[in-house]
Amino acid sequence: MYFFKLIVRNALRHRLRTGLTALGIVVAILAFGVLRTVVDAWYAGAAAASATRLVTRNAISLVFPLPLTYMGRIRQIDGVKSVSHANWFGGVYITEKNFFPQFAVQAQSYFALYPEFAVDPGQMREFLRDRKGAIVGRKLATTYGFKPGDQVSLRGTIFPGNWEFVVRGIYDGAEARTDTSQFFFHWDYLNETMIKLAPRRANTVGVYVVGLTSADRAAAVTAAIDATFRNSLAETLTETEQAFQLGFVSMTEAIVVAIKIVSFLVIFIIMAVMANTMAMTARERTAEYATLKALGFGPLPLAAMILGESLAIAGAGGLIGIVLTFPVAERFGAEMGSLFPVFNVGRETVAMQVAAALLVGAVAACLPALRAARIRIVDGLRHVG
């Protein structure tokens, strides 16, 4: 017991220094946690993807559409349970800054394929009845104050013109990782306008979403769909929903890698600061360590004492840092708005924060502990700070 008391007393000897070091660790662990959460948010789309859904798109790239007639042919393929389709709309709400994803979907089949978008049945009926209707996510609704019955006007970038919508329902995410910042409306509305304005672009869809009878048939169905349309004017490329989402992540991988590197760099920096604190502390106490040795303490208890002090400071700082991560991440996610639709601190992040704090404490104590353990009593007693 006296041992722990000694550690605490030692740690509190230089209050200012201990306080500053702990503060540094709070900042570092907090920054580490938020950065890891940003990385997680990057992968959120892929993490929320279902194993029983495939996405079929034009093999050239997403810019090219697929003909509507493919729908029936995909449905015939063995292992396919249901098919729906979606078009990326890319409209601008008032100004370019208000970015959120908008999709023109085949409403009934799309929401059947995505059970994680939970819509009130009454609102769903309203939506299906209104060709100009739209269903918006909870997060989006809170950000812009959309309520059922509201008129929303979007300026088309891919599909020219001003498009009027009426919000008919709001969907909630069935899980925390569900993206609730999207805007869905009827593909029919889009198509009918295109028939009038640009008939050449009518009756086309952006991607097909394919529901599987079971997840283990994914590979076979993928191959079968692509084989059906090989050598046609619009060849297809089918992937699991997860691979499709990861495709987007990999295009911006350089940024993710940079954030990851930086998140470890911050731990390194604080390691240097902490190691410095412990080195100074140990140097000042050289004479004390020699005294303790003269009293009969072995090198191990001395090393343990330094390690304990280092771990105590790092642990305290780390704990405060972890506790602060949650409100800060929440605030940060709210500020970022629709850029990161899902922004939650993961359990893994917290585990890594704990590990990082303990690692910093342990590494910082290494060199001073070794020195203290090795010091010769005579030299130590002669030492002047």
188 binds another protein (CB under 8 A): no
160 binds another protein (CB under 8 A): yes
Which one of 3, 8, 131, 268 is in contact with another protein (CB under 8 A)? Answer: 268
280 binds another protein (CB under 8 A): yes
- Minimum CB distance to another protein, residue 260 (Å): 13
Which one of 192, 216, 253, 348 is in contact with another protein (CB under 8 A)? Answer: 253
Integer angstrom CA distances of residue 262 from 32, 257, 265, 266, 268: 9, 9, 5, 6, 10
**What is the spatial distance between Cα 162 and Cα 155, in angstroms, rounded to a whole number?**
5
**Count of residues that interact with another protein, criterion CB under 8 A:** 55
Is residue 314 exposed (0-12), middle (13-18) or buried (19+ Cβ within 10 Å)?
A: buried
135 binds another protein (CB under 8 A): no
Residues 6+ apart with CB under 8 A from 300: 373
Nearer to another protein by C-beta: 23 or 215? 23
Is residue 285 exposed (0-12), middle (13-18) or buried (19+ Cβ within 10 Å)?
A: buried
Q: x/- site string to another protein, residues 7 to 36, per CB under 8 A?
A: -------x-xx--xx-xx--xx--x-----
Nearer to another protein by C-beta: 174 or 272? 272
Nearer to another protein by C-beta: 125 or 331? 331
62 binds another protein (CB under 8 A): yes
- Minimum CB distance to another protein, residue 118 (Å): 29
Residue corresponding to tokens 């890698």: 257
287 binds another protein (CB under 8 A): no
Residue 113's φ and ψ, nearest 5 degrees, are -80, -25
Rounded to the nearest angstrom, the gap between the alpha carbon of residue 191 and the centroid of all alpha carbons in its chain is 34
Which one of 8, 12, 63, 300 is in contact with another protein (CB under 8 A)? Answer: 63
Token reading at 335:
């500020």
**What is the spatial distance between Cα 9 and Cα 29, in angstroms, rounded to a whole number?**
25
Residue 209's φ and ψ, nearest 5 degrees, are -105, 125
Residues that bind another protein (CB under 8 A): 14, 16-17, 20-21, 23-24, 27-28, 31, 59-64, 90, 92, 96, 155-158, 160, 200, 231, 233, 235, 237, 247, 250-255, 258-259, 262, 265-266, 268-270, 272-273, 275-277, 279-280, 283-284, 367, 385
